[in-house]
Copies of this chain bind each other. A is one copy, B any other.
Amino acid sequence: MSSICKGDNSDLTEERKNATFDTDKMAAVIYGREEIASRRRQLTESISRIHELAESKPLVFMTREEKIAESCRKLEVLSRHWNQTPFNRDNEEDALHIYREVLGMEGHPLALHDTMFIPTLVAQASQEQQEKWLGRARRKEIIGCYAQTEMGHGTNLRKLETTATYSPDTQEFILNTPTITALKWWPGALGKSSNNAIVVANLLIKDQNYGPHPFMVQLRDEKTHIPLKGIVVGDIGPKMAFNGADNGYLGFNNHRIPRTNLLMRHTKVEANGTYIKPSHAKIGYSSMVKVRSRMAMDQGLFLASALVIAVRYSAVRRQGFLEDKTQKVKVLDYQTQQHRLFPSLARAYAFIFTGFETIHLYSQLLKDVDMGNTSGMADLHALTSGLKSVVTHQTGEGIEQARMACGEHGYSMASYISEIYGVAIGGCTYEGENMVMLLQLARYLVKSVELIKSGEEKKLGPMVSYLAAKGGHPDLSSLNGYVTAFEHMARRQAWKATEKFLKLMETGESREVAWNKSAVELTRASRLHTRLFIIEAFMRRVSRIEDIPVKEVLTDLLHLHVNYELLDVATYALEFMSSTQLDYIRDQLYLYLEKIRPSAVSLVDSFQISDMQLRSVLGRRDGNVYENLFKWAKSSPLNKSDVLPSVDKYLKPMMEKAKL
């Protein structure tokens, strides 16, 4: 995919010839193992040979109805190919990659079926219930989704208003939506596609509220697909992005379901209304950690996609002159352009590496929990909360800078970057709003500082042990020195924010008010802690690389990263770093921009994101941008006719009338 082909734009070919490393080997580092990277290439190659899977026209030319229809069409085609080599429908990573290639990132009608509906049945349904539903779900006899959030209540489970009241007479639960804010709102694939849903509702038995529980609810007739009586269901309307998804609303009006539709693996309600508690409480908690663990990687890949487009196009686009007055300069040679793109490129790599490490920590944790050791949970939960927040924010920033680095054509949907932005930036809000997430991590940091203050620093989790260390004068002659400097700033801010909070309580403020008055300082502490972790994860990954050329260029990228990061938070270095040191960091930063420059195109090629998946005219592998931009524009919907009906109807009469 990254190889040089005949007919490619010669500027891109020149860049690729200059690569100091093998992009396949880099891909193996990015995706963890050579087998995974080559598996991705193989799948991409196989998909490209199934012509029915090609997009009937660019997604950006489609209405929401057309996008959904296109996804449905392709899902039907895929359903006929799943069992052919090399596809393996049971491999989750395969499925994700195939969906990304074929369906793209804008959502589709089965998006929740595989990722939430089936896993919830697996985790929460009893043996008997699984026998009843799981096979049907896996064969796609039914399509399901997961309906939890409500119009007035985002991710706060405790505030849900939907009720499921048990009626012992009929052995049924009666579902109700007591207020407008209790409408289920946002669940993916709920609006139009799913005929079943896992619905989270408050379980009420004889006026006692047992809190939110999951229920299997049929929404629509399996034959006609018409909503059942007592159910109000529909699409919540257009969104900033994800417009190929039918996020939905759902309301109940005395809708009855059998008692046995409560998912009963952990909780039971007996026929007479006896409630049997789950054996342990924290169910669902770990799936949240799992989703957030993945986010660093997913977001890193969103950022990567935007950079593939921007870096390639910056090697194709020429503007102005430098030394040589006979040839215009590739815009990638401008320092301002490098400064817009390369620190983000370093972050994309860092996020992906951090993502892999977190996913690994998560599976470790599951094993530990199985062995009865839950000590790592708080550490990882806090970390993933912070990561989710920092990574989504920086990804959004980086994607927008990438788009702007493409000049005016970046603004065209032909670049597709604004769509990537819309999808990625959603991550700042879903799965826990970023400010809430930062404050969750802050709670952990405050507790940790309090432990140290009370002399119990031995109880500190491994990720916060640096909070107890002493900081020295920063020594920027090595990467470790940078880490020490960063640690010092993170520690200082964690202590400062904690002291502020404690002092406010001492002066008589309630815990909540003191917390609120320290909140911004606390979020600052959380960001520093998280950014420190990302730097360290990047370092750990690079240290394990064996291929020398790959390691060399990633070491340069890591240097770029630490210099950029440290400069970016240098406000916290007041009275601790000198102006001379800061100047040194800046000089290093500019030096590493220059060092990365020759490898830039190969560094983005190494993500091995196919043209099919990229969906960008500007980011094409072959670099033949302008002729294809013209082709793309000519085929866009407004150009179907020379004269728009609205011109005939309104403008022509208006002009004619003016002549009278």
A-side residues, CB < 8 A to B, are 60-61, 63-65, 68-69, 72-73, 75-76, 79, 109, 136, 139-143, 149, 151-152, 154, 156, 180-181, 183, 185-186, 191-193, 195, 222, 224-227, 234-240, 246, 249, 319, 321-323, 333-337, 339-340, 396, 400, 403-404, 407-408, 410-414, 418, 422, 425-426, 428-430, 433-435, 439, 510, 512-513, 516-521, 523, 567, 570-571, 573-575, 577-579, 582, 586, 590, 626-627, 629-630, 632-634, 636-639, 642-655, 658-659
Contact = CB atoms under 8 A, between A and B. Distances in A.
A180 B140 contact: no
A426 B407 contact: no
A578 B574 contact: yes
A139 B658 contact: yes
17 contacts: A65-B637, A76-B651, A76-B653, A142-B655, A154-B407, A186-B408, A237-B632, A240-B418, A249-B630, A337-B435, A339-B519, A339-B520, A340-B435, A404-B434, A411-B426, A571-B582, A574-B578
B413 A429 contact: no
Given A192-B638, A407-B433, A658-B140, A61 B238 contact: yes
4 closest pairs, A vs B, by CB?
A69-B646, A237-B636, A72-B650, A235-B638
A505 to B, nearest CB: 13
Contacts of A191: 638-639
A183 B627 CA distance: 11
A218 B518 CA distance: 64
A226 B638 contact: no
A23 to B, nearest CB: 28
A327 B484 CA distance: 45
A435 B151 CA distance: 42
Copies of this chain per assembly: 2
A469 to B, nearest CB: 20
Contacts of A629: 151
Contacts of A136: 658
Contacts of A333: 516
A647 B225 contact: yes
Contacts of A521: 586
Contacts of A139: 658-659
A433 B629 CA distance: 21
B645 A69 contact: yes
Contacts of A61: 237-238
B570 A579 contact: no
A654 B567 contact: no
Contacts of A336: 435, 439, 519-520, 523
Contacts of A647: 72, 109, 192-193, 225
A402 to B, nearest CB: 13
